[in-house]
Structure 1
Amino acid sequence: MKIIVTNQEDLEALVKTSVVQSLDQYYKQKSRTEKQSTNLSVKEAAQLVKVSELTIRNYIKKGLIKADRIGNRIIINREKFEDSIKEVKSLKYRR
């Protein structure tokens, strides 16, 4: 541990810059998480787990992934999707 002797102005400037940097990082991270929508389309879900859209549709038909149909569109809740994908992966290796 180092002990630094400094005057009041330098200390204020140091604290101010560190607070500004911390706040910038916080708001950048917050904006990234807000950009993620809570619902996914079949295409977005397929891109997220790097499988084909047909695979996602088959999992929906089998009931492995919970989805809602609004007209012709299929909407998948992101949180439920992530939970169900964990279950699908564990079922894949079970014999």
Structure 2
Amino acid sequence: MHKFIITTQEELTLIIDKSVSKKLDGLRELIMNKVNPSKQKLTVKEVAQKLNVTELTTRNYIQKGYIKADKIGRRVLIDASELEKSLTEIKSLKYKRL
């Protein structure tokens, strides 16, 4: 059973471009992740540098519950995605009307 589709050259070009770009987008994302891997866990020092505060301030934020952290032995590690969530929550609370 064969199906024949009648289309114009422009429609065919559009269909091919869409299907090729879908495949290339996945490949581009894979290449970018390999070239620039995102670090999953950050140390207190790295978070302090990222937020432009001292390490003590970062530890205080963790203690107060503003930033979620995991303690593994003596090391304190902060998940990068959780840090971003924490920052957006703090910003929304900062500008919340009472």
The question of a shared fold, defined as TM-score above 0.5 by the shorter chain, is answered with yes
**Equivalent position of 1:91 in the other structure:** 93
- Structure 1 match to 2:55: 53
- 4+ long deviations beyond 2 Å: 26-33, 89-95
Aligned to 2:70: 68
Question: What does residue range 15-26 of structure 1 map to in structure 2 within 5 Å?
Answer: 26=28
Structure 1: distance between partners of 2:42 and 2:75: 11
Normalised by the length of structure 1, the TM-score is 0.61
Structure 1: 5+ residue runs without aligned partners?
Answer: 1-25
Task: Report the number of matched residues.
Answer: 72
CA RMSD between the two structures: 2.4
Measured against aligned partners, the alpha-carbon deviations of 1:23-42 in whole angstroms (never above 9, x if no partner) come to: xxx47743443x33100000
SS of 1:58's partner is helix
In the alignment, structure 2 segments of 5+ residues that lack a partner are: 1-27
* 1:44 alignment counterpart: 46
In 2: Cα distance, 1:38 partner to 1:63 partner: 20
What is residue 78 of structure 1 aligned with on the other side?
A: 80
Q: CA deviation at 1:90?
A: 2.6
Task: Among all aligned residue pairs of Structure 1 and Structure 2, give the percentage whose two residues are the same amino acid.
Answer: 46
Shift of 1:75: 0.6
Deviations 1:55-81 (A, max 9, x none): 211111011111000111101000011
Q: What letter corresponds to residue 75 of structure 2 in structure 1?
A: R
Residues 39, 70 of structure 1: alpha-carbon distance in 2 compared, 3 angstrom cutoff: same
